[in-house]
Chains A and B, each alone.
Chain A
Amino acid sequence: MKNVIEVKHLTKSYKSNKAVDDLSFEVKEGEILGLLGPNGSGKTTTMNCILALLKFDEGKIKIFGEEMAPDAYETKAKIGVVFQEVAVFDELTVYGNIEYFCGLYIEDKTTRAQYVEDALKLVGLEENRNQYPKQLSGGLLRRLNIACGIAHKPKLIFLDEPTVAVDPQSRNNILEGIKKLRDDGATIIYTTHYMEEVEILCDRVIILDHGKIIASGTNDELKALAKIEEKVTVEVAELSPKQLGGFEKIKNVAEVSYENGVLKVVYGKGKNNLAEMIEYLKANRISYSRIFAERPTLNDVFLELTGKELRD
């Protein structure tokens, strides 16, 4: 598959602070690439460098095989960006806003009108077309922000934290919309610090911290890095130190912790760990109220690689 974006040795510093540090990666056609990292890890800076908004110290950036520059208008025409902050005109209606931004790309008026309708439908704002941004809730405003960025049907779409502070309903709508864009043939770069979104949405993930790539790959590849097979959580009212010590001796168990009546047992490998745990509890006559098992998350990966949580 073709590379849509190629970033090589990108370095950008603000004064003494390196925001992006020797970053190299590619984005393949038709994929959703997740850029995951905590706040301040360099996701937005990287994006702005790719878009030729920011000066950078070193590196090369190619989009669709062409060197990206502020005046690479043909390349720019194929790109759509949804910025983190809502950037719309309060004086224009929902329709007017989409029409304006779309009009910067599409000159033909009939095509433009059709595209605006498509965008409205995609984000589910058909009912709100005549409303002004001030009349929209936070979630709907975000959807408008997205519609403004993608109405011209770009081949390459950047989405910078489009779901920050959005209600669950709008979030689902947004994520569904993004999948649909990919299905329609767009390549998508998705920046977020919500690992759950990355897990359900992205084909491939790059984890950033302090401007560097600390891991990349598919969800499963990354989770393998966590060196965790499964986490079993048991709610136990009482547990003696001796009983606690017993858990550590169970096969495949890597780590045990007990706090506020919640016992967490981490298995490094093995199958049927939950069933075995239930057996163990029964055998040792330990009474419990709830028990469940989880697969490792990207947060665990991040924790494993950096020693800190993804979200502070």
Chain B
Amino acid sequence: MFWHNFKFAFKTLIKNRELIFWTLAFPFILALLFNLAFARLHDYDVFEAFDIAIVNDESYQNAIGIKSAYSALSEGDEKIFNIKYASREDADKMLENEEIEGYVYIADGQIHVAVKTNGTNQTVLATVSEQISQSVVMVEDIVATDIQRSGGQEINIPEIAAKAMKIVSEAEPNVKDESRVMNIVSIEFFTLVAMACMQGAMISSEMMDRSLPNITNRGKRVSIAPTRKSVIVGSNLLAGYLLLFVSVTLLILFTRFVLGIEYGSNIALMLLVAVVGSLTSTMMGMFLSVFLKAKSGAKQVIVLVVTMVGCLFAGMFGGMKNYFDEALPFVNKISPVGLITDGFYSLYYYDDISRYVVNIVSLLVIAAIFFALSVRSLRRNRYDSV
């Protein structure tokens, strides 16, 4: 009887176009949209050299150090600038027409940078120009120090200058960069999977509704059949759970292998999040169905709020997670969406799995609470009203 009911439950579920759309198709569509929209948001590796102009007048020609520094930056594979040499007027015109991001000119021995707006490229131009100008000062300083130290002895100025330039250009601080190259955009997809998971509460809620005589007429029909309620409820929920688990797993695999989202390396633990997350979601749907005899509209709203507010707190829509963690730290500790997201996050970012385990255990505890509360109420066999 269990498998008979399971078979039909599964059959009716996969034919329910509305449920399938919201729980299966919609997260996939969102994943695709996310992928398109965020594709370049954190693509720092791709730096493209941009166009600038340099006012090629006498002062520029005389500033030899500056001149060689700029031309060094516009050559080779790692060049930063594409330099156009022009008169001041032409440079102004080019800037006005947005043909260049900015231009450089020398006046009173100083580097001047002219830009139209504040932007990334403008900041790069300004910063690099500042470095060049400081390098010039450094070379001068070092040369001056050497002259001073020589104490009036005969010195070879070009030699000292060359030495100073070598020092400045070769000066490299000993920085040990332990940065981990992480992609914050992954969080959007973690929350998306969590969202898909929790939206699945609608499935189990529907599966419960059809098992209970006080909610649906189909529930009345199965209640008068000579089948244990636990068998009906169990097989219905199992069908819903399996569908949800499969769809969440497909979503994870799709985002991981088709869209190339980074999840960390442990695929088994990754899928364990889907196993446990789907379970929590199923139990939540069961709980909502049992305790809210209200129309499914109310359940939908609750599922939506739990999911979407959870998503917001968990960092969907622009990574505000840490901000919310400071403001309302408990929310992500009890919100299933937050726990699922953090589960993926800790797999991705932490080497040690203790944080992951805390998330998984929390999800299981929440599932157990929903289950216990629901079962207590389900043990009743007769109803006050049907």
Contacts and interface: CB of A to CB of B under 8 A. Distances in A.
> A–B direct touch, CB within 8 Å, in complex?
yes
Given A91-B11, A91-B12, A103-B8, A53 B382 contact: yes
Interface stretch (A24-32, A68-76, A232-240): A68-76
Contacts of B213: 53
A107 interface: yes
A86 interface: yes
Interface stretch (B93-101, B220-228, B353-361): B220-228
A148 B218 CA distance: 11
A81 B220 CA distance: 9
Interface in A86-115: 86-89, 91-92, 96, 100-101, 103-105, 107
Interface of A, helix, strand, loop or mixed by DSSP:
loop
Interface of B: 1, 4-5, 8, 11-13, 15-16, 213, 216-218, 220-229, 381-386
A100 B217 contact: no
A107 B381 CA distance: 24
B225 A55 contact: no
A14 interface: yes
B4 A101 contact: no
A107 B12 contact: no
Interface in A246-291: none
Q: Enumerate the 8 nearest inter-chain pairs by beta-carbon distance, A residue then B residue, closest first.
A: A87-B217, A70-B381, A91-B15, A104-B225, A73-B226, A77-B226, A76-B226, A91-B12
B11 A70 contact: no
A104 B227 contact: yes
Interface residues of A, number: 33
30 contacts: A53-B382, A53-B383, A54-B383, A54-B385, A54-B386, A71-B228, A71-B381, A73-B227, A73-B228, A74-B226, A76-B224, A77-B226, A81-B221, A81-B224, A87-B216, A87-B217, A91-B11, A91-B16, A92-B8, A92-B11, A92-B12, A96-B8, A100-B8, A103-B1, A103-B4, A103-B8, A104-B5, A104-B226, A104-B227, A105-B225
Contact of A88 (B4, B11, B218): B218
Given A53-B383, A54-B382, A104-B226, 7 more contacts: A54-B384, A70-B382, A87-B216, A89-B12, A91-B12, A92-B12, A104-B4
Contacts of B217: 83, 85-87
| Chain A CB within 10 A, most for which of B1, B4, B228, B381 | B4
Given A70-B382, A87-B217, A91-B15, A53 B224 contact: yes
Contacts of B226: 73-74, 76-77, 104-105
A271 to B, nearest CB: 49
